Structure 1
Amino acid sequence: MVSVQKNGTHTCGGFLVSEQFVITAAHCFEKGDKLTVVVGAHELNRNSPRIAVKFYHIHPGYDSAELLNDIMILQLNKTIKYTKTIKSISIPKKDMNIKANSKCSVAGWGAQKTSGSASEQLMEVNVTIIDNKKCQKKWGQKTTSWICTFGKGGFCQGDSGGPLVCNGTAVGVVSFNEENNCDKPNVPNVYTRISKFLTWINAILKGVKQDYDY
């Protein structure tokens, strides 16, 4: 789990998938941003070591208006050394569906209630997967690139980009929820389904060998 930061302040979550790459949400980046990431921290403070982002791989199909294909890979400007507190998380190896009513978890430093302030401590909560067709109907949107959860508890402002974890595997990226209603949402929370983007992800993780500047 990493904190994606702008001007030294937490803005989004993210997660290490290799020694040099972080997956987060595409909407966490705006043109001109210079983001940094904090790795290995449970409690965020000003002294946490920050690593600069060398390149922003935003999915070419990202739609900022509809928040479709809301996924981005951050290429760090140095390789991370794994420790007891810094590790990567596995992602699916093939396209997969998560069964409705499965129990998973989501973590982040975001607000713990609507209009609340960001948390200094990393928080985690269990969530329940909802049938994808029901989710699409609730939102009035047809897409196979979502995973949704519904019920009490979930994510809030500042949790975007964090992982939805099922059985130890990151299967989703926190994308969006009902605006100004984290506490008792009337529609499901939406995550980008990682397994729909494996070809693109693997091409970047395996193919990027050169040095880039944004």
Structure 2
Amino acid sequence: MTIIIISLLLLASLLPHLTFTAHVNVGIVNGREARPHSRPYMVSVQKYGQHNCGGSLISDQFVLTAAHCWKGERLTVVVGAHNLRNIKSSDHIRVISYIQHPQYIPIPLQNDIMLLKLEKKVQLSNKVRLIPLPNDGEEVGPGTVCSVAGWGRLTTSGPASNVLMEADTTTINPAECERKWGSVFLAPKMICVYGAGGSCFGDSGGPLVCGGTAVGVTSFGNIHDCNSPMSPNVYTKISAYIQWIRNEIGNVK
């Protein structure tokens, strides 16, 4: 049986045209509101003044996000946010360069990773900080408890969250991910996770964080369920792209 997948971002725009019975999930599924500014690396990637995707601040002028988050529109990044209804104009920074991975493929999603260069360097503070990245080729073993966060939808077909939500989740053995996703899951370049909580639509591009390090970029999930045990959420494995990141922006800490 062919499993149909679609990026978490793309599905948000297609939901009104799809006919299915959605599972009701809370959260970022079964999530909780993050303590304000406890994740100072999180950014809201926006188009036309609306939240579009998540992202991670990895240097004072670069954001790491998913390649499918950009389709030619002009994007801005909001830093230091918690409640997106209470952000100042000074928190918005224009993106001046969109660096999708050169081997990015939208269908099926492969090499779904992108760098955004900001028009100016951000001023780091208690509310705006960088997140560390893994070493080249570093692996996260199955059964590792990690976390995800974002401003995505509160349910599969419901509204987005104004405040940053977070949830704990657990990495799955790559062999099990391959059994559940088939050939679309590429173990050398992807991680999949499942837990009581998980990413939902609008959380694309945000980080999978394990031990304080960003190890994945939210990429795709099942169209019927934001947090399905049968087809768990999939993340681009950052450690597989460290050399590319360094070549583009220099050695990040």
Ranked by relative contact order (alpha carbons within 8 Å, sequence separation 6 or more), the top structure is 2
Does the aligned pair in 1 maintain the 2:208–2:217 contact within 8 Å? yes
Task: Please show how residues 114-125 of structure 1 align to structure 2 within 5 Å.
Answer: 114-125=156-167
Q: Which residue of 1 aligns with 2:4?
A: none
Counterpart residue number, 2:39:
none
Match of 2:215 in 1: 171
Which whole-Å deviations, capped at 9, do the CAs of 1:43-79 have from their partners, x for residues lacking one?
1026432100010000001010011100000000000
Rounded to whole Å, the distance in 2 between the matches of 1:164 and 1:63 is 21
* Amino acid corresponding to residue 87 of structure 1 in structure 2: R
How far 1:108 moved relative to its partner?
A: 0.3
Residue of structure 2 in register with 1:20 after alignment: 61
Gaps of 5+ in 2: 1-41
> What does the per-residue CA deviation read over 1:131-190, in whole Å, with 9 as the maximum and x for residues that have no partner?
112112211125210011023320000000000000000000000110131154521110
Counterpart CA distance in 1 for 2:159 and 2:121 is: 32
Paired residue for 1:95, among 124, 127, 137? 137
CA deviation profile, 1:98-157 (whole Å, cap 9, x unmatched): 111110000000012111111011011000100112112211125210011023320000
Length-normalised TM-score, structure 1: 0.93
Partners of 1:178 and 1:185 within 8 A in 2 = no
Letter in 1 for 2:85: N
Count of residue correspondences: 206
Q: Which whole-Å CA distance do the structure 2 matches of 1:15 and 1:148 have between them?
A: 19
Percent identity between matched residues is: 49
Describe the SS at the equivalent of 1:27: helix
Equivalent residues in 2 for 1:74-93, closer than 5 Å: 74-93=116-135
How far apart are the structure 1 equivalents of 2:149 and 2:93?
21
For the Cα contact (< 8 Å) 1:4–1:12, is it kept in 2?
yes
Contact 1:151 1:184 in 2 (8 A): no
Paired residue for 1:157?
Answer: 201
1:141-156 map, 5 Å: 141=183, 143=186, 144-156=188-200
SS for the counterpart of 1:175 is strand
Structure 1 stretches of 4+ with a deviation exceeding 3 A read none
CA deviation profile, 1:5-63 (whole Å, cap 9, x unmatched): 000000100010000000000000002x0000000011102643210001000000101
- Measured in 1, the distance between the counterparts of 2:136 and 2:82 equals 31
Question: For the Cα contact (< 8 Å) 2:168–2:196, is it kept in 1?
Answer: no
Q: TM-score if structure 2 supplies the norm length? A: 0.79
What CA RMSD, in Å, does the superposition of the two structures yield over aligned residues?
1.3
Distance 2:61 2:51 in 1: 20
CA–CA separation in structure 1 for the residues paired with 2:195 and 2:167: 12
